[in-house]
Amino acid sequence: MGPYSTIRKLKRHGVTATQLEAALGEVNPEEVRAIFDGAVPLRRALAEGASAERTNVRRYYAYLVLAATPATELARRVDAEGYLRRQGAAVSRQVRRSARQGVSEEHLQGAVAAIGARPIAEALAGRTPFGRWARERARTARGRRERIAFAHLAAAGPRRVRDALAVQSEARAARSECREPDDRHGGSGPATPASVAA
C-alpha cells in the first residue's frame, strides 16, 4: 500500500491523540514547522518524507499520521504561527466575500446541511457569539468545503441561520408525515367496495 492510500485510510478513520503524540515523538516539531513554511504543499511534503523513511518503519508511519492530521490541528500542535495567521486571514477574507456577495438561501441551506443542525443549534444557544464560533470553526475546518460552509454561517448571521434551521426542521417533519402508513383502514391499504360492504 502506497503512502497516499495509507493517508486516506488514516483520514477516514481519524487520527487519535495517541497516534499524533507518538508521531511528534518521531518527527521533530521544528521539522514540521519548516514544512508549513515551505513551498511544497503540506500533505505532499509529508508523504515525500514518509517515502524517504521506508526503511525506518516508525518514522515512515509517523509521517503518514502527520499527513492525515487536519492541517490546522497539526499547526497548533507544532506552533506553526505563520500558517495559523495565514489561515485566520483566509477565513476573514472568505467571510467578507460571503457578506459582500450575499449568502443565498441555497448556499445557506447547503452550509447547514454540511455542518449539521445539532452543532449549529448548540452554538446558537451557547454563550459564545455565533459569528465568533463560526469563524473559529472555519479556521479549524477539515477542508475547503467545510471552511466555506462556516464562513457562510458567519456571514449570514444568527437570525438567518435560525430561520434556515426552522425550514429544514419543517421539511423533515413533512417528509416524515409522507412516510407514515395510512392506518385509517387498519393499515390494510385503501378501502375496497368489498371491505366496505363487509
pLDDT of 171 above 90: no
Rounded CA-CA distance 67/81 in Å is 18
Rounded CA-CA distance 60/70 in Å is 18
Banded model confidence at residue 1, pLDDT cuts 50, 70, 90: low
Q: What are phi and psi of 96, to 5 degrees?
A: -65, -40
Torsion of CA 49, 55, 57, 62, to 10 degrees: -10
Mean pLDDT in residue range 81-88: 87
Per-domain residue ranges of the chain: 3-77, 81-179
What predicted TM-score, i.e. pTM, was given to this entire model? 0.61
Rounded CA-CA distance 161/92 in Å is 19
Rounded CA-CA distance 68/33 in Å is 16
Percentage, residues of the chain above pLDDT 70: 89
Rounded CA-CA distance 159/144 in Å is 25
Contact in structure between 13 and 73 (CB atoms under 8 Å) = no
**Among 8-12, 51-55, 95-99, 142-146, which stretch is predicted with the lowest mean pLDDT?**
142-146
